[in-house]
Structure 1
Amino acid sequence: MCLPPTEHTWPPSRKRCSCATSVLSSSSATRYGAGVSSELPPLDPARAALREHVLRYAVRTGDFTLKSGAKSSWFLDTKQTACRPDGVLLMAEVALSLIPSDIDAIGGLTMGADPVAFGIAAVAATRGLHLRSFSVRKEAKDHGVTGRIAGALQPGDRVVITEDTVTRGTSPLEAVEAVRAFGAEPVLITVIVDRGGTCAAMAAAAGVAFVPMLTALDLGFNYGT
C-alpha cells in the first residue's frame, strides 16, 4: 500500500464505529476458490471485514479478458460490494478512517465512482459529517448546467477522488484534472481495490495522495495478474 506525501499525517484521526466491522466475520482463513490464496496478509478489523465482503461477492476466478485486453485468471466487480447495503457500511467504515476532517466533497468519474462516493457521503451524514458528493461526466454537457461536473461540488472545495477499482489509474487521474479545472482542490484518491499497483506513482506525479482501501495483494493476488 502506498503512503501519501510525508507532510500529511495519515490516516487522520476519526472516531470509529464498530458496527460496520461486525457485519461480516473478518477471518482470513476462509478459502475462496481456485486462484485465491488462503494465506492472506493481516489487516485491521475494518479492512479485514471489507476484504471478506469483496472476496465473497466481487471476486470471480476463471478465464477473463480485461478492459485493457489482457488475459486474467480472476475478475473483480467491486460494484457487488459498493451496491450492497452491508458492503456500503464496510466500505464507508474504511474510507472515513482515511478521509481528512477538512474535506468538503467526494466523487469521481462516472459511473465507477458513483456508488462509492454516494454511499460514503450518506454514511458520513449519519455520523454528523457534512460531506457532499458529485460525479465527473465522461464528456462535458453542452446544455442546462454545462460542463463535466454534476452534483454538489463547489469551487474551492477540498476533495477526495474515488473509484471502485483501479488497474492503471487513468480514471481517477482524469477526475483529478476535471476537478482542478472546475476550481476545486483534489487532496486524496482512495479506491475500494487497487488491482494494478500503478496508480500510486501516477497520483504522486499529479501531486495527490493515494491510499487504497484494499490492494490486489490483500486479496491474495499479485499486481497486474
Structure 2
Amino acid sequence: MMKPVYLTLLVLVPFISYVSSTTTSLVLNNANNVVAGQSATYNCSSDGNGVNPTIQWSIRTTDGTVVRSNAQLSSTVVSGASVDDGAIKSSVTFTVQSSYLTNHRLWCSAVDAGQSSATMQIYTAISATTTTTASLGGTCSSSTTCSTANAGCVSNVCRCNTNYYDTNGDNNSGGSCSLQVGLGGTCTAGIDASCYTNNARCSSTSPYTCVCSSGYVQSGSSCVADSAFLGESCVSPTRTCLYN
C-alpha cells in the first residue's frame, strides 16, 4: 500500500514598502530686483508631511507655452534637504530677458514622492521692479536710490558720502555733493562742512578759504588747540601755556 505524499505549498506574498508625501502649501517669493538683462532670484517654499517633494521650475507664457523648462533653469535647494518633513525651500536664478516682462510667468511646482506629475503649482508674473529716487536731503529706503552723485542713504536720508559735503547744507533738500578741501583751500561760504580738516571752518570773509576754528591754530595740515598744559609743546605753532 502506497503511503500518501504530503506537499507543503509555500505561498510568497510580496511586501511592498513605499513612502508617501503630501504637499499642503507652496509659497513663491518674488525677486527683489527684476531688470531686463540682469539676474533675478526667486524662492519657493513647500510645506506638508512625509518625504520632501521635488521642486521644479519653469517659465511659461500666459497661454501655457513652456519657454524654459526645469532642466533649462539653474535651481538649488537652499534649506530643508536634510530632513524629510515635507518642508523644503528651492531657489532659482536666471537672466531676465526683455520678452519675459510681458505675458510671462514663473511657475514653481511640487512633485510629491511617488507621483509623476505636479501635485501643487503656483506662479507669479515676471514684472520689472520699479525703483524710486530721492534727491539730496530727501527720504530714502532699501527700495529708493539717491539720485545725487556721490550720495547714499544714511538713516533713511540721502546724505553725501565721506569726503563730500552738501553744497546746500545738510538740513536742506536739493544741492549737490562736492569734494571737501583742506586748510587753505577754497570753500563754500557759510558751510563749514566744505572743509575736511577737524576743527576747521570756512572763513567768514572773501576769499573764502578753510581756516582753523576759534580756539585752534594751524599745525601743518591740522588744527590744534591754541593753548597747552605743562609738559605739552607750545612752539611751532605758538600756543598759550596754561597753569593748573
Normalized per residue, the structure richer in strand is 2
Larger Cα Rg: Structure 1 or Structure 2? 2
TM-score (norm 1): 0.21
Normalized per residue, the structure richer in helix is 1
| Greater RCO, CA 8 A, separation 6+ | 1
